[in-house]
Amino acid sequence: MTDKKTLGLWDRDVCEIFLAPDLENPSRYFEFEAAPTGEWVDLGITLTSEGRETDWDFASGFTTATKLEHGRLFVGMRIPWSEVIPKPQAGDRWGVNVFRCVGPEAPDRYLVWRPTRTPEPAFHVPEAFGSLRFL
């Protein structure tokens, strides 16, 4: 595990989760990525009519862990609750999507839980996020 975020990680082998805690404002969400190397990145995102604004200095306290076992890779992510990412209450719903990107050489390099249906792979599509309901 590294002690600082790795910008540009999204161009490599990585698992990603996008969380939109406020469904009334889905254009404000968070991006978390973890690589098999233990590298990570956490970003605050806001989509505006002018484009995407990224808070590169967002510091969530996010941590990751990886394990390779019997040819299978396991990637764990821990995203702590905070003032910015509040602990959900029972019944709360958040927007979410999960992606897996394999290095640039792989023919089927993108896997996604909720396809964004864009001509080119694009993950920053909150209207394609699924719903995560907390119990």
Would residue 71 count as lying in a domain?
yes
Domain count, the chain: 1
Would residue 1 count as lying in a domain?
no
Q: pTM of the prediction?
A: 0.91
- Mean pLDDT of all residues belonging to the chain: 90
Rounded Cα gap, residues 29 and 31, in angstroms: 7
Compute, in degrees rounded to 10, the torsion defined by CA atoms 21, 27, 28, 32: 80
Closest CA to 95 of 59, 41, 61, 45: 45
Would residue 58 count as lying in a domain?
yes
Lowest mean pLDDT among 12-21, 82-91, 102-111, 115-124: 102-111
Residue with more model confidence, 107 or 35: 35
Would residue 25 count as lying in a domain?
yes
CB atoms within 10 A of CB 85: 20
Q: Which domain does 13 fall in, by range? A: 9-133
Would residue 4 count as lying in a domain?
no
Q: What angle do CA 97, 100, 104 make, to 5 degrees?
A: 135
In this predicted structure, what is the pLDDT of residue 85? Answer: 93
Residue with more model confidence, 36 or 106: 36
The whole-angstrom distance between residue 83's C-alpha and the CA centroid of its chain comes to 19
Would residue 116 count as lying in a domain?
yes
At 17-66, the pLDDT tens digits run 999 999 999 999 999 999 999 999 999 999 999 999 999 999 999 999 99
Whichever domain contains 123, its CATH number is 2.60.40.1190
Would residue 2 count as lying in a domain?
no
Would residue 43 count as lying in a domain?
yes
